[in-house]
Chain A
């Protein structure tokens, strides 16, 4: 029964946020998070993503912003729309391009490669638009780390964050560890792994398994 409940949880979230977003506007932070259903939906998608429920996260986002794949789509809730795009991009990256949404079919290796390319391009676009969020930088590095031609850039991005002591997540340390391991710097990889484990002792992703 508990397993059934767990399986149904994403569906319940989907049902909650399938309704169209409310036009509410209110003061920032607490109030807006409570009264605005679009805000709630995207934060719910973030939570699903954090729990590795990539498909559910993507479905919530798609229900909220059906045109989430369109790079230049304009909406009244642009900040939330951009966040939604990042969620879908990360879902693709962390699932290996295995999320089916709109024109991203996820049937073949080529489809998955297209999805990963879309994800990396989307995150790069957000960075190019002037979003200087460190979290976005680490997400972009995560995407680039999956693309052999762009691993050098991924490593540079993450090393800069690590050197400035502003690495945002255990996952970012994990990606750095894998990149260091991949280029043969085992000491640097061990240090990054140690910091990852310090931040997230129970997270299996802290063990660098290499980047394929």
Chain B
């Protein structure tokens, strides 16, 4: 229906003067309340957003506390040349092989193009915005007021009224393919578009980064302010210096066409979440070493570590961080895992205790991550937080090990 409305508007306006802008079905966002901005700025620090993101409003932590900078330093081989990370070459090579997450994340810059209401909603219920990226925004411990305050701090300015006339969405769809936009961007909910090769392709490494960070364009209408979408398409780097989005080299009329398609084309609804199904317990014996290598030591212990051996910082999931008070859960050894975590009542509880449906709590958290990425909103926070789900075959190892008495 919106597409028809846009077409009708284009037809009616033919030869009768300027075409009105794409109609908005929502009011423009006013400037954010200064008190809310201040609260949001405090939350940016409290939630340690700078441990993952760079941004003008963020104070960068030391390299060893910045997950992405630390990984980039290792990947660049800085560790081999001395300094704090001076490590034997074999260890360095192993780390470089193992680091698959948090190699690069979107910078919190040029955010004036975003709709503040989208930012708040996204923080409350993050979804898979960038399908090529194996890391997504984690579900933080936030209430609605906090999410709105953060959004106010990130997008403080008022939304400018759109003034560009509506374009031709059919032509806009063609432009998506002709300019190779869908080489990097997914656009779920529309009929598939075949992308032409880019006229000026970047080097393969940059191409890979761009593909990983490109958002699914189905979210553009919720995510971007319409007026900003036009100026973004005209010159992305003017909005966000250093952006991986190339200048699409579009004429003003083409920008209008493309923006109109992005903002108005009908979308198929997202498919219903397909919830994961646990695989049955294995017949063979599964030892702790196997489960540790596949799950605990591979991923979990980065945020659930032993504070004694990590300068007193056991990570967000143990001693706290990223806005979490810390569940006192150490997943770095058999004894520590068996020691359980601290529950909401302050008492320690077993991570193996069955939930009402019989699923051990630790397994339920791993399954919840699958559900999150499938689009569901499970009550339990999915783990690993914001990262690729643990494969079901590895969860099967865990359930088998638990069923067999969780021996060391």
Stretch in contact with the other chain, from B21-29, B156-164, B253-261, B333-341: B333-341
Binds B, one of A10-18, A89-97, A159-167, A176-184: A159-167
Contact residues in B for A132 (Cβ distance below 8 Å): 328, 342, 348
B86 at the interface (CB under 8 A from A): yes
Residue total for A at the interface (Cβ-Cβ under 8 A): 35
A164 touches B349 (CB 8 A): yes
* Interface SS, A side: helix
Q: Is the CB of B311 within 8 A of A134?
A: no
Given contacts A25-B64, A26-B84, A134-B348, contact A164 B309 (CB under 8 A): no
Question: In the complex, what residues of B have CB within 8 A of residue A198's CB?
Answer: 405, 407
Interface check B269, CB cutoff 8 A? no
Assess the B350–A24 pair: CB atoms within 8 A: no
Q: In the complex, A164→B348 CA distance in Å?
A: 8
- Verify if A32 is at the interface (C-beta below 8 Å from B): yes
Interface size class of B (residues with CB under 8 A): 35 or more
Chain B residues near A135 (CB-CB < 8 A)? 335-336, 339
A31–B63 CA distance with the chains assembled, in angstroms:
13
Contact between A32 and B309 (Cβ–Cβ < 8 Å)?
yes
B88 touches A34 (CB 8 A): yes
Task: Determine if A35 and B336 form an interchain contact, defined as CB atoms under 8 angstroms apart.
Answer: no
Taking CB atoms and an 8 Å cut-off, the chain B residues in 287-331 that contact chain A are 301-302, 305, 307-313, 315, 328, 330
Closest chain-B Cβ to A109's Cβ sits at a distance in Å of 32
CA of A132 to CA of B408 in the docked complex: distance in angstroms? Answer: 22
Minimum CB distance partner of A135 in chain B? B335
Q: B70 within 8 Å of A by Cβ? A: yes
Q: Which of B91, B350, B408 contacts A166 (CB 8 A)?
A: B350
Across the interface, name the chain A residue whose C-beta is closest to B338: A168
Q: Which residues on the B side are within 8 Å of A3 (C-beta)?
A: none
- Chain A 18-38 interface mask (CB, 8 Å, partner B; 1/0): 000000111111111111000
A165-B312 contact given A31-B95, A34-B91, A79-B307, CB 8 Å threshold: no
Q: A79-B308, A170-B408 are in contact. Are A28 and B348 (CB under 8 A)?
A: no
Q: How many whole Å from A37's CB to the nearest CB in chain B? A: 11
Q: Is the CB of A31 within 8 A of B87?
A: yes
**Residues on B with beta carbons closer than 8 Å to the beta carbon of A29:** 301-302, 305, 309-310, 315, 332
- Is B352 an interface residue when CB atoms closer than 8 A count as contact? yes
Count: A-B pairs, CB below 8 Å: 104
Chain B residues whose CB sits within 8 angstroms of the CB of A34 once the complex forms = 87-88, 91
Write out the residue numbers on chain A whose beta carbons fall within 8 Å of the beta carbon of B349.
164, 166
Q: With A164-B348, A164-B349 given, is the CB distance from A26 to B408 under 8 Å? A: no
Task: Determine how close the nearest CB of chain A comes to the CB of B83; give it in whole angstroms.
Answer: 9
A:137-171 near B, CB below 8 Å: 164-170
Give chain A interface residues in 36-51, CB to chain B under 8 Å. 39, 42-43
CA distance A39 to B336 in the complex (A): 18
Min CB distance B127 to A, Å, is: 29
Docked pose: A42 CA to B408 CA in angstroms: 21
- Contact across chains for B340 and A164 when beta carbons are under 8 A apart: yes
Question: Do A25 and B311 touch (CB < 8 A)?
Answer: yes
Interface string of B358-383 (1 = CB under 8 A from A): 00000000000000000000000000
Point out the residues of chain B lying under 8 angstroms from A31, CB to CB.
64, 70, 74, 79, 85, 87, 95
Given contacts A30-B95, A166-B338, A199-B407, contact A80 B350 (CB under 8 A): no
Chain A contacts of B405 at CB under 8 A?
198-199
- Tell me whether A28 and B310 are in contact in the complex, defined as CB-CB below 8 angstroms, given that A34-B91, A35-B85, A167-B338 are known contacts: yes
CB distance from A38 to the nearest CB of B (A): 10
Chain A residues within an 8 Å CB radius of B352 = 165
Q: Quick check: A165 and B339 within 8 Å, CB to CB?
A: no
CA distance A206 to B261 in the complex (A): 72
* Chain B: minimal CB distance from A133 (Å): 7
In the complex with contacts A164-B340, A164-B348, A166-B349, A26-B308 CB distance below 8 A: no
Instruction: Please tell me if B42 contacts chain A, counting CB pairs below 8 Å.
Output: no
Indicate if A78 sits at the interface (CB-CB under 8 A).
yes
Give complex CA distance A133, B87 in Å. 30
Quick check: is B141 within 8 A (CB to CB) of the other chain? no
Which of B87, B336, B338 counts the most chain A CB atoms within 10 A? Answer: B338
Q: List 12 A-B contacts (CB under 8 A).
A: A26-B64, A27-B65, A28-B313, A31-B74, A35-B85, A42-B309, A77-B311, A79-B308, A83-B309, A164-B340, A164-B350, A169-B338
Other A-B pairs beyond A25-B84, A29-B332, A31-B74, 12, CB < 8 Å = A28-B64, A31-B70, A31-B79, A31-B87, A34-B87, A35-B87, A79-B309, A132-B342, A134-B338, A166-B349, A167-B338, A199-B408
